[in-house]
Structure 1
Amino acid sequence: MASTFSFDIVSDFDRQELVNAIDQTVREIQARYDLKDTKTVLELGEESIVVNTDSEFTLDAVHTLLQTKAAKRNLSLKIFDYGKIESASGNRVRQEIKLKQGISQEVAKQITKLIREEFKKVQGSIQGDAVRVSAKSKDDLQGVMQHLKQEDWPVALQFTNYR
């Protein structure tokens, strides 16, 4: 039997689910009466989504649609980082939505500090854009998971490599 157990805290999303959510959003835009003639375009890049539409009103409607479709596909809305709205050619508006992946150093430090203060028998260590949590007892690790789920973090947290 292993002497210590561990898991990793990461901030990631399923890219295929995001592709499906964007695809469903585009289909609904083409089908909805109020959005059909707006010539709205959603482009998924490597690290962002670019929305090009005819007004800020339709941009808000596209945001709502995208968030609804993402939530139905179990994607956290915290992965979207909305940029500023820019004017595009032909009286259109354009917005870049960055996709957040990985835990920043500041958030990782906050997580490890919280683990140190709340759980004396558990160790947290920062490993790149993830946090490794280890302890001698699986019950302690599950307590850490429950505590972290109750907090409101600026990024979406997932727990992986539980062993």
Structure 2
Amino acid sequence: MPSFDIVSELDIQEIDNAVNQARKEVDGRYDFKGSKSEIGWDKDKKEITLNAEDDYKIEQMGSILQTKLHRRGVDIKAVKFDKVEPAGGKMLRQKVTLQQGIDREVAKEIIKVIKDSKLKVQPQIADDKLKVSGKSIDDLQECIALVRGGSFAVPLQFNNMRS
């Protein structure tokens, strides 16, 4: 029985490259000269930290980071900016979390869209991805087109197509 997976994955290497490019731009910009602004990147937690002295610099660093991520092909839906919080020593901090995997609510929403379409496919939740199986590859391709056309809270990719 043909099947495929719906996943939400990020290319960590591209994120690493984007963070390094953003750091270089912040270091070279005139309005950041002499400031203690920095961009931290924790690969294990998949979290980026923006540290700066004022709201303007935090906002500019966030904008630079978003631009670099977008240019490297990282979907901005996967990037979640938390509130700016005081970090001590007249500094401000903003955490940027990277969302990977499909959580239960989004998975249920995708399943509802698929079932409402009356396509002859069976979606099921498997950990942080969805497995969709059907009798014909044409039905699966229609399902992919349907899900691509929808707007969901996370970026979606389709892989492991088996016939």
Structure 1: how far apart are the matches of 2:33 and 2:152?
Answer: 37
The AA in structure 2 aligned to 1:100 is Q
Q: For residues 153 and 36 of structure 1, what CA distance do their matches in structure 2 show?
A: 40
Rounded Cα–Cα distance in structure 1 between residues aligned with 2:33 and 2:2: 53
Indicate the residue corresponding to 2:149 in structure 1: 150
Residue 36 of structure 1: CA displacement?
Answer: 2.9
Q: Which moved more, 1:113-122 or 1:97-106?
A: 113-122
1:34 is aligned to 31
SS in 2 for 1:64: helix
- Note the residue ranges of structure 1 that are not aligned, 5 or more in a row: none
3-state SS, counterpart of residue 95 of structure 2: strand
- Give the Å deviation of 1:98: 1.4
Is 1:54 the counterpart of 2:49 in the alignment? no
- Does the CA contact (< 8 Å) of 2:40 and 2:49 recur in 1? yes
Segment drifting more, 45-54 vs 20-29: 45-54
Q: AA paired with 1:12?
A: E
Residue 40 of structure 1: CA displacement? 1.4
SS of the equivalent of 2:31 reads: coil
**Any idea what SS the aligned residue of 1:37 has?**
coil
Larger mean Cα displacement after TM superposition, 33-42 or 56-65: 33-42
SS of residue matched to 1:34? helix
Gaps of 5+ in 2: none
Kindly report which structure 2 residues correspond to 1:29-108, keeping only aligned pairs within 5 A, or say none: 29-45=26-42, 46-108=45-107
Correspondent of 1:13 among 7, 10, 13: 10
Runs of 4+, deviation exceeding 3 Å: none
**Share of identical aligned residues, percent?**
39
**Deviation at 1:39?**
2.1
Which of the residues 5, 19, 22 maps onto 1:22? 19
Superposed displacement of residue 99, structure 1: 1.3
Query: Residue type of the partner of 1:9?
Result: I
**Structure 1 length-normalised TM:** 0.93
AA partner of residue 89 (structure 1): G
Aligned residues: 160
Name the aligned partner's letter for residue 121 of structure 2.
V
**1:25–1:66: 8 Å Cα contact kept in structure 2?**
yes
Structure 1 residue 156: Cα displacement: 1.0
Bigger mean CA deviation after superposition, 108-117 or 121-130: 108-117
For residue 112 of structure 1, report the CA deviation from its aligned partner.
Answer: 1.1
TM value normalised by structure 2: 0.93
Separation in structure 1 between the aligned mates of residue 144 and residue 35 of structure 2, nearest angstrom: 45
* Equivalent in the alignment of 1:160: 159
**SS across alignment from 2:153:** coil
Equivalent in the alignment of 2:119: 120
Aligned counterparts of 2:78 and 2:34: Cα–Cα separation in 1: 29
